[in-house]
Structure 1
Amino acid sequence: MSGAPRDAGPPHVARVNPPSLAPPRGFTHAVTAQGGRLVFLAGQTALDAGGRLVPGDLPAQFERALTNLLTALAAAGGTPSDLARVTVYTTDVAAYRAHGPELGRIWQRLAGRHYPAMAVIGAVRLWDEEALVELDGVAVLP
């Protein structure tokens, strides 16, 4: 991967986007990490503190699920820039794609512009039956 552009971020996490791949939008092709401590973040849906799913469409649920993921990360001592990998599970990939620009704005507002390696996976249903989206991740803390 030498010669591939590296995105600025914390020194222990480097984002790599080889010029021979399509330009990434809302994700990074590869993330390297060295040193530090791994934090594995459990899947988060749009549950409130009382364990009730917040009402709303996919963007509203995405915002709450991301907030929950970032809350767990902060409790472990991390920040959004420490995220190395996030997986998004959704019950409606077409709706996720249709809301892509709005989801990107939510991500930028809550997590900034340092994108982790990401994947979006379609699921028949999630653990919380009414959930439309769930996020899990891996972070590397210094």
Structure 2
Amino acid sequence: MIEHINPPSLGKPSGYSHAVVVTANRLVFLAGQTALNADGKIVGDTVVEQFEQALGNLLTALRAAGGTPNDLVSLTVYIVDMDDYKAHAREIGAVWRRLIGNAYPAMAGIGVSRLWDVEALVEVQGYAAIQHESDT
């Protein structure tokens, strides 16, 4: 079971949960994903395009492990240009809702000077807890 905890004594979260409690039998540790395509090339010129590809890559790995977007319990977004990312927050939120819906894991956004691939603007890394069918 996955339970999202958002105490009223903390600020109302927008696009994340303050805490996520997991009582599941299968944990999935998802490697950081950038906007690499199947040919190993970074695709997308904007942070929104790259976020969509990176999140899609993460979800592909999660599905291959037997999970769904609702199984995500923690996500870290590494961001090369925080001001650019914040300026496009609405568009990034729209990508999130289209690919995942309204489920928000515990999240962190971290500004970095660069990523492994110099063309990469964003990288997403996460954890998922896949529930047994009897738990859903």
After TM superposition, is the score higher than 0.5?
yes
What SS class does the counterpart of residue 113 from structure 1 fall into?
coil
Query: Following the alignment from structure 1 to structure 2, what is the Cα–Cα distance between the partners of residues 67 and 125?
Result: 21
Q: Does 1:15 align with 2:12?
A: no
Q: Does 1:101 align with 2:90?
A: yes
After superposing on structure 2, the runs of 4+ consecutive aligned residues of structure 1 that deviate more than 3 Å are: none
Query: Following the alignment from structure 1 to structure 2, what is the Cα–Cα distance between the partners of residues 42 and 54?
Result: 18
Can you list the C-alpha shifts for 1:43-83, whole angstroms capped at 9, x where unaligned?
00000001010032000000000000000000000000000
Query: Following the alignment from structure 1 to structure 2, what is the Cα–Cα distance between the partners of residues 89 and 52?
Result: 18
Query: Following the alignment from structure 1 to structure 2, what is the Cα–Cα distance between the partners of residues 65 and 118?
Result: 15
Question: 1:114 is matched by which residue type in structure 2?
Answer: A
Number of the residue aligned with 2:134: none
Number of the residue aligned with 1:74: 63
Query: Following the alignment from structure 1 to structure 2, what is the Cα–Cα distance between the partners of residues 55 and 103?
Result: 14
Query: Following the alignment from structure 1 to structure 2, what is the Cα–Cα distance between the partners of residues 105 and 55?
Result: 17
Number of the residue aligned with 1:27: 16
* Structure 1: runs of 5 or more not aligned: 1-11
Number of the residue aligned with 1:120: 109
TM-score by length of 2: 0.95
Number of the residue aligned with 1:4: none
TM-score by length of 1: 0.91
Q: CA RMSD in A?
A: 0.6
Percent identity of equivalent pairs = 56
> What is the aligned residue count?
131
Query: Following the alignment from structure 1 to structure 2, what is the Cα–Cα distance between the partners of residues 35 and 84?
Result: 11
Question: 2:4 is matched by which residue type in structure 1?
Answer: R
* Structure 2: runs of 5 or more not aligned: 132-136
Shift of 1:115: 0.3
Matches within 5 A, 1:79-94: 79-94=68-83
Question: 1:51 is matched by which residue type in structure 2?
Answer: G
